[in-house]
Amino acid sequence: MGICLRGKSFIFTIMILFLFAGSTAAFGAAGKNVVVIDPAHGGTERGVQLSRSTYEKDLTLTIGKRIAERLGKITNIEIRLTRSKDINLTIEKRKEMARKAKADLFISLHVNAGFGNKSIGYEIYFTGFDAPSSKKVNSSEIVKDMVRNQYLNDTVRFAQIFQRNFSKVLPREDRGLREAPFLVYEGLAIPSVAIELGFATNVKNKKKLTDKKTQQAIADAIVKSIREYFVTSGI
């Protein structure tokens, strides 16, 4: 009888957690959805060079500010930037800001380079799913995996929405969704992506990324994706 009750109690706990995990949102002030935008690099960390006077740190900050400006006009979204100036900021500090903000979504902006000058297009990175382990018999470990997988499911859902919207900005340049460790989001219990917006080492990509109209189009695609993400979340 005792074993049966414990089994029922565990199943009930799992059901409750599934219901809770259905929405991973941690609302900010006045019930708003909190989005943290992370413009990569800054200060002495310039990142890759796009032109004689423009570096990755400049482009990510410009686009980050444009996103913040647009999202700031939407009543149900609270927007935070990890940096709004050209300053040095450690990866740990960026993650700490996302945690303190109780973010519902974390987006880190980057520019790619290398692999020769023929490499072109954008990539969306997210942390990988852990394969289930037969050693995890402890209920708390199983629950942790469930909650983590819910964040990952939400991450992939946002990435797919963005992928669809961004394909209109850079047609036929989608390099796909990629599971990979990325220091800026590792350890965050938040739906998180790192977006490589294009290749600074590709002439075509570089021309587009340094164009102001394209920069606005990138920001608009991200804003649209964020709005769609929260609508489909039902929150």
In this predicted model, what pLDDT tens digit does every residue of 43-75 receive, in sequence order? 999 999 999 999 999 999 999 999 999 999 998
Residue 132 CA to its chain's centroid (Å): 24
Q: Is the pTM of this model over 0.85?
A: no
pLDDT of the residue at 207:
95
Dump strand ranges (E) for the chain: 33-39, 77-81, 105-112, 122-126, 174-179, 192-199
Class of the 38-233 domain? alpha beta
Q: Mean pLDDT in the chain?
A: 84
pLDDT of the residue at 30:
56
Pick 86 or 75 by higher pLDDT.
86
Confidence of residue 8 (pLDDT cuts 50, 70, 90): very low
Residue 100, pLDDT > 50, answer yes
pLDDT of the residue at 75:
87
pLDDT of the residue at 235:
54
pLDDT of the residue at 103:
96
pLDDT of the residue at 140:
53
Domain boundaries, the chain: 38-233
Percent of the chain with pLDDT over 70: 77
CA-CA distance, 106 to 144, in Å (whole number)?
Answer: 20
Tens-place pLDDT, residues 124-159: 999 875 555 455 555 555 445 555 667 889 999 999
Residue from 105, 46, 82 nearest 228 by CA? 105
